[in-house]
Amino acid sequence: MSSDITRLVARVADLERRLSRSTRTSSLAYSSIENGAVEVYDEDGSLRAVVGTQPDGTAGINVVNGPPPPEPAAPAVTSVLGGIAAVWDGTFAEGAVTPLDFARVEVHTGTAPEFTPGPHTLAATLESPQGGLVTVPTEQPVHVRLVARNTSGAASEPSASTGPVGPEPVVAEDVLDGSITEPKIAERAVNATHIKLGAVTVDHLAVGVTGNLIPDPSFETGYIASRIVGLPGVAVVTGGNSSGKALRFTLISSAPRTLLYSRFPVTAGERYWAAFDFKGGTDFVGRNGLLMSLQWLDTNGAHLSYSVISNAGPPADGVWRRGTFIHAAPAGAAYCVPGLQSPTGSGTVYFDNVELRPVMSSATGGTRAEIAPDGLRLYDAQGEESVSLVTGRPNYLTLSTDGRPVATIDQQGNGAFSDLSVAGELSVGGDPLERILARLPRGLVAVDYMATAVTAGSSEYGYIELAFEADTSRMYKITFDAYADPNVAGGEIAVVLRDGGAATPTISSPQIQSITQPLPGAGWTRVHLETIKSGGALGGGVRRLLVSFWAQGGPAGQTVRLLGAAPYLGIFAVEDIGPYVPETGVYNTGGGTVTPAKKSYTKIYNASWSGSYANRSQYNAYYNNQCLQGYYSSTNGMQSALIGFPASLATDLSGASIQRAELFLYYEHWYSNTGGTAVLKAHKHASRPASFSCDSEAMSVSWSRNQGKWVDITAIFDSTLWRGIALDPNNSSSAFYGRARGVGEAYAPQLKVTYVK
C-alpha cells in the first residue's frame, strides 16, 4: 500500500514539473501561420522582415528596410581583347565587414572619372561576397565604379573610380589565320589610313550581291573624280539631283563621251536592274540620247553583246529625269562592264545617281517572283508578267485560280472582277453613287387604290387621306384619279386637295389644288386632279393629304358619289419626280417680251491651266501642271497650287444666279496612306500668274489616295469675282501634304456649275 502511494506522489510531482516547463515555452513553436504573416520589427519599431504570405500573394521571407551596405573597395581594372577586366577582392572601404544581408556588387562604367552610377551605366554584377572578375566589352577607355546592394535592394555609396582603362590592342600573334571574317569587322573600322597605297586593286575586290555594283554612284567620294583626271570634256561638278555632285560631259560633235567602270563577274541568266538620272543643259544641241550600257564578256574577256538603256535625247531645259531598265546576262557571259555614254553634239549633259543592282529571282524563267530595287514582279507559267508592283513604270495585278485569270487591275487603274461588294462609299466618275441616284426620280413614295364609294351633297365632304415623308430637296407630283357618279344630271363636282401637315387633315386644312368637273348626265365621269410641288413648298417631314369634294350648281338635292370599282379602281398617289428645280418662267402676252425666259443650266468646265508654287510664292516649273499643296521639305517649302478655268466661265455666269458649284479633283498622292486634307480657296486669276495669291475664305475636305471626287464649293465660289480654285493649306502638318493631278493629265480638274440665267 505504501509503495502505491509513493508512486502516485512521484507521478504527481513529474506532472507538476512538465506543466511548469510548458508555461514558460513560446506557443509559436507549436503553431502554424494560416494565410497570414509574421512581421519582424527592430528596437526602433521599423519593419525589417515579413515571414509568411507576402503582399503580392506569394509566400516566403522578405527582408525590407535594411540599412545600406558599406562602400565596396575600389576595383582593379586591366585591359583585355575587346574590352576590360574588372576585379573586386571582396573587401569594403575602411575595413567594413560584409553585411549578412549582402546581395551583390554592381559594376558600372562611364567615360567621366566621377560619373554617377545608374541603370544606363550598369555593365555587369558580382554575386559572391568573396569578390570576383568580370569582363566588360568596350571600344574606348572607361572608368569603373562598384556599388553594393543588400537583399532589401538598398544601394551603397559608389566606390572610388578606377580608370580610364581601354581595350588591349590586337597584334599579329593574337589572331589565328582565318579567324577574322566579314561579320567581325565593325562598320568604318578600316579606312584609307590602314591600307597601303596600291595594295588593293580591282582583282582583289568582290562586290556584295545586295548592294549597288556602281562605285561612287553620286560622284561624291572622289573615286570617279580621280579616274577621269585627264579625260577631255569630263568633270565632276557641284549640283546633282538631290545630291552634292554630278558628272558633266561637255560634248563635241564628232564622237560621244564615255565613262567605263571596272568589270565584275556574272552568271548567264542573271538579271540586273539599272538606273540613272540625267539632264540636258540649256546649251545642249545634239541628236541621240544619253545611255547606260552593260557590255557582256566571256570567260576570256572577249566581247559578246551590249545591253543599253537610252532615250531620244534630253530636252535642253536643265530638268533632271530618270531612266531604268532590267536586262539579263546572255548565254556564255562571265563578266559585265558598265558604262555611261553621252550623245554627240554640243553643249553639256549630266549624269547622277547611277545604280546597277542584281534582281533577286526564284528562277530564271517560267513561273517566278522577282524583287528589284523598283519593286516586285510575278510571272506566270508562260513567263509573262501577271503582277507588277514597281515604281517608275505602270503597275498592274492579275489574280488567277487554277491557272486561269479571274480578276485584273490594269496600269490605268481599271478593274475587272467576278463580283464586287462595297461596304463603304461607291463612287462613279467622282460622284458617290448615292448622289448619282439622287439626280434620278425615286418614283412612287405613297399610293392608295379606292374601291369604296363616298357620297356628298352641296357641303364639302372628305373622301381619302394619304401621308408621305417630304424632302425639301425633291420635287413631287400628286395625282388623284376616280369616278364621279351624280344622282341627277347637271351642275358640277368640285374636288379639293388639302394639306394637314403632320396633323390630321380636315376640310379646313390649307388647300393646295382643286378642280371642277361638269356633270352633264347621270352616270360615271372620270375625275382627274394633279399638281407638282417642291418639298420646300410643302414643308419637310410628314405631310398628310386629304381629298374632299361636293356638288355645286346642280338641281336642288343633287348628290354625287366619288368611287372606284374593280377593275377600275380609283388612285391617289404621290410620286418623287427628281431633285428640286427652280422656277424659271416669265409671263408673256404673246406680243414679245423684253426679258427672255430664264433657264436652268448645268455646265462642266475643264480646267485650262494649273500649276504649283514653291514657298507660296513663285511658280515652280519643275512640276509643270501638277498641283502640290503643303510642306514636304525646305527645298520647296510651303507649297500651294492654282487651277484656272476658261474665259467662257465668266461669260456664262455674268448675270446668273448660281444654284450650285462643284469641283472635281483627283489626288494621286498624300503623305499618309490613309489620305489627307485638301484646303480649297478661290482666286481671281484669268491665266496662270508668276506668283501666288488667293482669297482667304477656305473649306477643308478629306481625300483618299488615288481618289477623284466632286465636292460642293458653292460656299466659297462667287460668280462675280472668282475664276478658279487654289489649294492652299499653309500648314506644315504632314496631313496636308498631297499632290493632285493638273491640266493635261488623266482625271484633270473640272468645275460643274448649276445656274439660272
CA Rg, the chain, in Å?
Answer: 47
CB 294 within 8 A of CB 327: yes
Are both 247 and 344 inside the same structural domain?
yes
* Residues counted in the chain: 757
The mean of the pLDDT values for the chain is 85
In a domain, 421, yes or no: no
CATH number at residue 662: 2.60.120
List, in sequence order, every residue forming a beta bridge with 190; answer none if it has no partner: none
pLDDT in tens, 168-199: 876 545 555 555 555 556 555 565 555 555 45
Only one residue has cell 538631290, namely: 242
CATH number at residue 331: 2.60.120.260
Are both 637 and 691 inside the same structural domain?
yes
Domain extent at residue 129: 46-183
Are both 459 and 485 inside the same structural domain?
yes
If we measure between CA atoms, which residue out of 291, 289, 342, 347 comes closest to residue 318? 347
In a domain, 10, yes or no: no
Number of domains in the chain: 5
In a domain, 88, yes or no: yes
CB 260 within 8 A of CB 271: no
CATH number at residue 575: 2.60.120.40
In a domain, 40, yes or no: no
Q: Which helix (H) or strand (E) holds 4?
A: helix 2-23
d(CA 218, CA 235): 13
Only one residue has cell 351633297, namely: 457
Q: Of 134, 149, 183, which residue is a domain's last?
A: 183
The Cα angle at residue 202 between residues 201 and 205, in degrees rounded to 5: 100
Are both 349 and 398 inside the same structural domain?
no
Are both 515 and 559 inside the same structural domain?
yes
Are both 143 and 208 inside the same structural domain?
no
Are both 559 and 453 inside the same structural domain?
yes
Only one residue has cell 341627277, namely: 488
pLDDT in tens, 197-234: 545 544 344 443 347 899 899 999 888 988 888 788 89
In a domain, 586, yes or no: no
- Residues 230, 234, 240, 244, Cα dihedral to 10°: 10
- Give residue 52's identity as a one-letter amino acid code: G
Are both 347 and 294 inside the same structural domain?
yes
In a domain, 678, yes or no: yes
d(CA 66, CA 53): 20
Q: Please tell me whether residue 269 adopts helix, strand or coil conformation.
A: coil
pLDDT in tens, 311-350: 667 888 999 998 888 888 999 999 999 999 888 888 999 9
Q: Cβ atoms within 10 A of the Cβ of 317, count?
A: 12
Are both 470 and 503 inside the same structural domain?
yes
In a domain, 123, yes or no: yes
d(CA 143, CA 162): 5
Q: Backbone phi, then psi, for 461, in 5-degree steps?
A: -140, 135
CATH number at residue 75: 2.60.40.10
Are both 665 and 733 inside the same structural domain?
yes
List, in sequence order, every residue forming a beta bridge with 545; answer none if it has no partner: 466, 499
Q: Of 328, 358, 388, which residue is a domain's last?
A: 358
d(CA 130, CA 90): 4
618-619 and 699-703 as β-strands: parallel, antiparallel, unpaired?
unpaired
Query: For each successive 10 residues of the chain (757 residues), what is the average pLDDT?
Result: 71 74 56 68 68 68 81 94 92 92 94 93 93 92 95 92 88 54 56 54 42 89 86 90 91 78 90 90 81 91 86 83 87 93 86 90 68 70 68 68 74 77 76 81 96 94 97 97 94 96 96 94 91 95 97 94 90 96 82 74 94 96 95 94 94 88 95 93 94 94 93 86 92 96 95 90
- Give residue 415's identity as a one-letter amino acid code: G
Q: Cis peptide leading into 596, omega within 30 of 0?
A: no
Are both 90 and 119 inside the same structural domain?
yes
In a domain, 589, yes or no: no
Query: What proportions of the chain, in percent to the nearest 5, are helix, strand and coil?
Result: 10, 45, 45
Are both 657 and 736 inside the same structural domain?
yes
C-alpha cell belonging to residue 119: 541603370
